[in-house]
Amino acid sequence: MLRRRNRLSSRQSQIVVGLAVLSGVLGALAGCHPTQTAGVDPVLTGLAAALVTWAGATSVWWVAGGAGAVIAVAQPASWQLWVALAVCIVMSGVGATRESAAVTRSLCAAAIAQLALRLDLRSPFGLSAALAAVTMGAIVLSGLRRRSAETRRTARIIGLGALAFSGLSLLLLVIAGLAARGNITKAVENATSGLRAMRAGNPEAASEDLAAGASALSGARSIVRSPLTWPAKLVPVLGQHVHSAERLVDAAQDTAQVVSRAIAGVDVKNVKVNAGVVDLTAIERLQLPLETTRDAVVALNLAVQSSRSGWLVDPLGSRLRSLSRETAKADLQARNAVEAARLAPALLGQGTKRVWLVLFTTPAEARGLGGFPGNWAEITTQNGRITITRSGTVISLINGGDNKDGRIVHAPKDYLDRYGKYGAGEDGAPMSRMFWNNITLSPDGPTVAEVAADLYLQSGGQQVDGVVVADPYALQAILTLTGPLTRAGTETTLTPTNIVPYLLIDQYRVYAGSTADRKDALQDVSNQAIQALLAKDLPSPVVIARAFGKPLASGHLMFWSLHPEDQAAIRALGISGTMPAPESDGFSYTLNNSGPNKLDTFASRSLTYEASVNERSGAVEATATITIKNTLTDPDTLPEDVSGNKRGAPKGSIRSLITAYSPLQVLSVEINGQRTAWSEETELGWRAYSGLITVPPGDEIVITIRLRGKVSVVGGYSWLTKPQPLSAPNNVRALVRFRHGKRSIRHSGPLEVTAHLTS
């Protein structure tokens, strides 16, 4: 078949060569890293851009036009869209006139090359590179087909030579990989097991495994840096593998050895907790080894993370992904260990006395922070010794103090604006006496702690240094350390298995009709659990941390100190129950029981958040769907004070004030398809939208909230949610799509910790 030849005049050839040189310079500055080899990448991308520009002078018009159309569809930025569309229009004109227009074709090819080299499509991985290769390759092949036989012969020789060089490089790399495979596999396995041993509190095993990993990396190092791998550094994708392996064996070998030595110096077994006394001197001695370990683990994590690349194929890619997950976890744990070791002596009253108010709450009657505060205790720490000094039911605080009806809530304005109508007092008025029942309405731990400490002083207590909020899941953690406890005068034995259902449901049946006896029993259980904890010689701090880890992470156990010097560390440890303000987008919701009853144990919750985001402007359109199901089917099995309500709803109904938190403006709220109106306020840096809901036994409601607005995207879009710590986890499905860049944020499953999701 005859091919049309585009003959270039001498003048056109000179111009095309000049354009190719200019395009090559711009291509070298595109910032692409096909090999990650310094000096090589700019040369390769520059040559590629120059070749496309030169060959494009004789390319078929519809090839360049089609390439422009592809980039116009895929482009992530507006200027690229307009340039790509301009190429489509110009090349369509060239095709219509059937003129040579070599310079015009070359200009359009240069534009395609620059656009292709600057594509930034992050999902799916490799799409930018694939589109660049296809569009640029199509122009080159099309252009060469219309050049002279001699030119095509020369191009064929060069192409075959490049292909042969790539094949030889791949063969040599495979040989090197096979030689180093055993050492790298052993190194990754040893490092992974060592980091897991470190997180499990076994420093001896961790040190041994990490030392073995460092030794294996040393063996791999000589192979990875041998002449066998040098040619591969010049080949796209192959160079990525070589450099990843080099970074891993170079940095990880040294840091793994440092971590091994540092961990060997961390012996937490010396920290004793005997009969309510913590050895503060032993904690102080741990601080330097922990800091050394943290620095080494941070360096190891950076080394592993920097060695990762989406271009890596298995098995190296999968092994690095597994190792990177372990180093990230170890990094966080090492940082937290240092913060905890610094913080613990102060919280435990080193050189002074600290007084703590402990609020025992129950999520059976939900409050924004978690649950209703039914009991309390006052705990004193001094030089590591922990003692219970006072305790009682919340009734004693309601009736405590010299001025029961004149107590003033000192709190941030948004707290008083939101909760003044629920008893906190509005416009400087005293709080209602019963507001102690509602003190945990706010979802923010530090705010509740500040209010509780102030009101405790006004309710017959003394000035406290901090506040602890604990629910049945925290008491469950205590029993995993102390063993079962039997209530005096009863045959009730509480274990880690049954204490939560007992406190959430069973105790209401046991003490049906006797609220006073039930409250006394709750006080006895909480006091007995703490006394047992303080009376025993406890296992190592690692075991203690493991027992309390989940309640602390999920908000069932919260700490807040009123001393500013403690607060940054407490926030860093994630144990404060803080409701963070959104940096970008976010959505959370809380239930505040308004029965009043004790049925929130039966509330099954789920949230679906779907959003479309313009990541350039920050414009967001979203739909949040909240489903609340009442899993109680037979309310007659529970006493009236548990399953009844004062709102005229059917017995067994969950009756709640639900509040949705978002930085966006609500457009509409529907409950089971029926439009309803919710109030709008502000709290903690969020817009707070509230309304009352009723869920009869065995039924469910679906709340659909449509939102719109703009959020900050200065540091990139992110989505924040803080689940309310109730008895059942909150199931969350988040799907955020971006209008540019083909990226998304996805999450699906139970969520019990504050989550900050990014793309």
Identify residue 417 by its one-letter amino acid code. Answer: D
Reported as a single tens digit per residue, the pLDDT across 167-223 is 898 888 778 777 777 787 787 888 888 888 887 777 788 888 888 887 887 777 777
| Percentage of the residues of the chain whose pLDDT score is greater than 70 | 94
Instruction: Specify the higher pLDDT residue, 173 or 311.
Output: 173
Report the alpha-carbon distance of residue 319 to residue 184 in Å, rounded.
9
Query: Is the Cα torsion angle 430, 432, 433, 437 positive or negative in sign?
Result: negative
Q: Has residue 284 got a pLDDT over 50?
A: yes
The mean of the pLDDT values for the chain is 87
Identity of the highest mean pLDDT range in 97-111, 289-303, 330-344, 458-472: 458-472
> Which of 399, 394, 426, 432 is closest to 411 using CA atoms?
426
- Walk me through the domains of the chain, giving residue ranges and CATH numbers: 10-147 (no CATH), 183-347 (no CATH), 353-573 (3.40.630), 585-758 (2.60.40)
Task: Tell me: pLDDT of 6 over 50.
Answer: yes
Could you report the per-residue pLDDT of 681-726, keeping only the tens digit for each?
999 999 999 999 999 999 999 999 999 999 999 888 999 999 999 9
The confidence score (pLDDT) of residue 133 equals 85
Q: Report in angstroms the alpha-carbon separations of 550 from 291, 321, 553.
A: 24, 25, 5
Average pLDDT value for residue range 410-421: 94
361/333: higher pLDDT = 361
Structure confidence by residue, pLDDT tens digits, 498-533: 999 999 988 888 777 666 666 667 778 888 899 999
Count other Cβ atoms within 10 Å, centred on residue 135: 26
Give mean pLDDT, residues 279-300.
85
Instruction: Say whether pLDDT at 313 is over 70.
Output: no
Q: Is the pLDDT of residue 546 over 90?
A: no
Beta strand 619-630 with 665-671: parallel, antiparallel or unpaired?
Answer: unpaired
Asked whether residue 759 carries a pLDDT value surpassing 80, the answer given is no
Residue-wise pLDDT tens digits, 326-353: 888 888 888 888 899 899 999 999 999 9
What confidence score (pLDDT) does residue 311 get? Answer: 55
As a whole number of angstroms, the distance between CA 349 and CA 346 comes to 5
**Per-residue pLDDT averaged across 64-82, rounded?**
76
Angle at 244 between CA 241 and CA 246, to 5 degrees: 105
CA dist 22 and 584 (Å) reads: 41
Question: What pLDDT, on a 0 to 100 scale, did the predictor assign at position 309?
Answer: 61
Report pLDDT for 575.
Answer: 95
Q: What is the mean pLDDT of residues 570-583?
A: 95
Q: What pLDDT is stored for residue 122 in this prediction?
A: 62
3-state secondary structure of 270: helix
Query: What pLDDT score was predicted for residue 78?
Result: 62
Q: pLDDT tier at 434 (50, 70, 90 boundaries)?
A: very high
Average pLDDT over residues 289-306: 81
- pLDDT score recorded for residue 179: 79
**Segment 614-673, tens digit of pLDDT:** 988 999 999 999 999 999 999 988 888 888 888 889 999 999 999 999 999 999 999 999
Cα distances from 39 to residues 31, 32, 42, 234, in angstroms, run 11, 12, 6, 10
CB-based contacts of 313, cutoff 8 Å, min separation 6: 241
Which pLDDT value is given to residue 1? 42
Residue 37's pLDDT is 85
| 3-class state of residue 200 by DSSP | coil
- Interval 743-755 mean pLDDT: 91
- Most confident range (mean pLDDT) of 65-79, 393-407, 692-706 is 692-706
Predicted pLDDT at 268: 76
Q: What is the pLDDT of residue 222?
A: 77
> Is residue 156 classed as helix, strand or coil in its secondary structure?
helix
pLDDT tens digits along 211-267: 888 788 777 777 777 888 888 888 887 887 787 777 767 766 677 777 777 777 777
* 109 vs 71: CA distance, rounded Å: 13
Most confident of 105-119, 209-223, 458-472, 481-495: 458-472
- Local confidence band at 375 (pLDDT 50, 70, 90 cut-offs): very high
Name the strand (E) or helix (H) holding 609: strand 603-613
Which has the minimum average pLDDT: 246-255, 451-460, 671-680, 735-744? 246-255
Least confident window among 113-127, 452-466, 648-662: 113-127
Closest CA to 339 of 577, 572, 542, 574: 572
β-bridge partners, 393: 375
pLDDT category at 75 given cuts 50, 70, 90 is low
- 595-600 average pLDDT score: 92
**In b/e form, how buried is each residue of 251-278, taking b as 16+ CB within 10 angstroms?**
bbbbbbbbbbebbbebebeebebeebbb
2 confidence band (pLDDT: 50, 70, 90):
very low
